[in-house]
Structure 1
Amino acid sequence: MDFGVSERIETIVSMINEFVDRELIPMEPEYLVHDFDEMLPKIREKQEMVKKMGLWAPNFPTECGGMGLSLLEHGLVSEALGRSPLGHFVFWCQAPDAGNVEILHMFGTEAQKERYLTPLVEGKIRSCFSMTEVDMPGSNPVMLETTAVKDGDDYVINGHKWYTTSADGADFAIVMAVTNPDAPPYLQASMIIVPNDTPGFNIVRNIPVMGHEGSGYASHAEILYQSCRVPRANLLGTEGHGFVIAQERLGPGRIHHCMRWLGICQRAFDLMCKRANERVIAPNGKTLATRQIIQGWIAESAAEMEAARLMTLHAAWQIDNVGASKARDSISMIKFVVANTMNRIVDRALQVHGGLGMTDDTILAYFYRHERAARIYDGADEVHKTSLAKRILRSYEGKEVR
């Protein structure tokens, strides 16, 4: 396998890093204290700059108006963008739009692509993904209570969802609902496009997360579908194949997440090292950097980041070359390894900053409260570990080991 990076991608990543440092990081103090909608005019200005640089929508297909980067290439871009919470949105490769573009591109009809995919890639509209339910385990997408019942040429959707990321201000949702209740478990659900202005699509609230409600794309909505009627033409792919489509979406999506988390790791690591070198802790001028425990944290963090990064790039290479199904062990591994690596490094960086780390005077408190969820969404750590272990153990059944 070859993780070699082309000169083109090296240039792109360098341009992105420079843009993040010059244009986005200075915006963060304002972003931390204002609603997303208040920041939107400034964000739009930065997005226009990105378009002029030719770096818009890096992971979306070229025929849709994106850059068409491979998963491995986009992983490197995502790492650079992850250093700022504004990065992915400004360059237009944020979740859940990125995953929705992928499934619309793979499974959408020509009419669906014209109405939803093209304007979504262009940044003219936003979308949300509505799968997780209040009373069902989010890590098991075959357990759903939301139903979509056929009525003539329509589906009538009823259900209760939450953690529908970015529903606030989105133009449409892709909803996972049971359409075939008598089919085998993995063939019961379908994905259906629901415009957010459809009667019966009701946003109850933006859920407060760690004390912050959020708005716009940085929000997580609770939604009631109450006799929400949409045309059957809004079905994505084949009826009953919602789980299959979800797996196509979630595999590459985990690469996006993991590389973004590694960008967060790098930002936290940089801040930690800078603080350790500057923070004087004794009258003789000695700094935190002279303390062995801090040195241990620095060394451990550097090694953990490098290991997590190589694991993630390997998983991305596998998906690009042999497909997500054959890469599922690697995908499970990186999901819990990188999430935990990020949480440890952010925690160490915050600790090194002391009281300052608890404030919003640095980005660390934001990362601490927003990224703890990384060990839960897209499959909790424990689910990935259990699934991975079962597959490994099955491979040893009847196998002679000396």
Structure 2
Amino acid sequence: MAPASIHLPRILRIGAGASATLLDTLGELGLARPLLVTDPFLAERGFAERLLQPLMRAGIACPVFAECVPDPTTDSVAACLSQLRRGDFDCLVALGGGSSLDTAKAVSVLALHGGAMRDFAVPATVPSGLPVIAIPTTAGTGAEVTRAAVITDTLTQEKMLCMGLGLVPVAALVDFELTLSMPHRLTADTGLDSLCHALEAYVSRKANAFTDSIALTALASISRHLRTACEDPDNREAREAMMLAATQGGIAFANASVTLIHGMSRPLGALFHVPHGLSNAMLLPEVTAWSVGHAPQRYAECARVMGLAQAHDSDTQAADRLVAGLRQLTADLEVPGPRQWGIAEEPWFANLDTMAAQALASGSPGNNPRVPEAMDIVALYRRVWAA
């Protein structure tokens, strides 16, 4: 087996109040001219202002770009890049969910290299970018520790996956207190996204000893705390556990890769604008059921650490209980199917071949224990519709 390559931020601060260390983090990195990248909601609710108060007291100006959109597009990235180029900035501070973090990552690359975002889509690699300090406000994407960004091409509506060392933030300030205001639906969907990251990393064909232990730890924590975080949003223990698990899931999949769930998820966001975490949640039970027979030991271990199977259960029994447990979890968290979410039947079935082609083009399905062909993915999309 080839050696595993592990990529992480240079600075990783985790825990209550971590976001308040931004000024110190800038100083440690020798940075002094940041642009804050966030979304309108966080700006309006005062998150950006509170984050920047220590910088203002220290005499550090930090203009704000607050127009990030869900599932960032090449247009929204261009708007942020335009503001960056009008100033003299040496770094970006990304505050928000995966959309804000991915926007900042994309801007950092284009600011340094020029060109178009499509130039950096896989199979191209991103070697470098302006420094990004990531401050996540959702417990799900793990984007604060990954070398990936997903940007939708405004012209083609294709979700482009970009990968490379240039997309790894130089620092991540992981503060669970920023998630206490997350509503139920966002808590559920981002939590299930984290679960997918950990599960996919563990069963991936690129799994390794470093990521295995992190992925299993995240799975155990998510299984224990996700329902509580949804039902009791002020529960600090559950919120802290979910935030840590999100970062662990990000570390795991960033260094072992996601698989078929994420590959099939991207077209749902691009074509039907399903939020990323929710699209993964829609696919999770059916794709897992289709895959378990090709790595029963791996899936069985996931079931055991999640408390869905016992040590004396056979691997086949444990894998079956994993699928049943995922079906129950998504039902308990009221994850809608494509129809329930509002996608019309005609465009869903009319786009099956396009969806399958885009899923395969992402490269993620090739890491799945059971590697699909286009017809398999089409069949799975049909199964997800009927579920």
Instruction: Name the structure where strand makes up a greater proportion of residues.
Output: 1
- Fold shared by both chains (TM-score > 0.5): no
Give the TM interval when normalised to the shorter protein. under 0.3
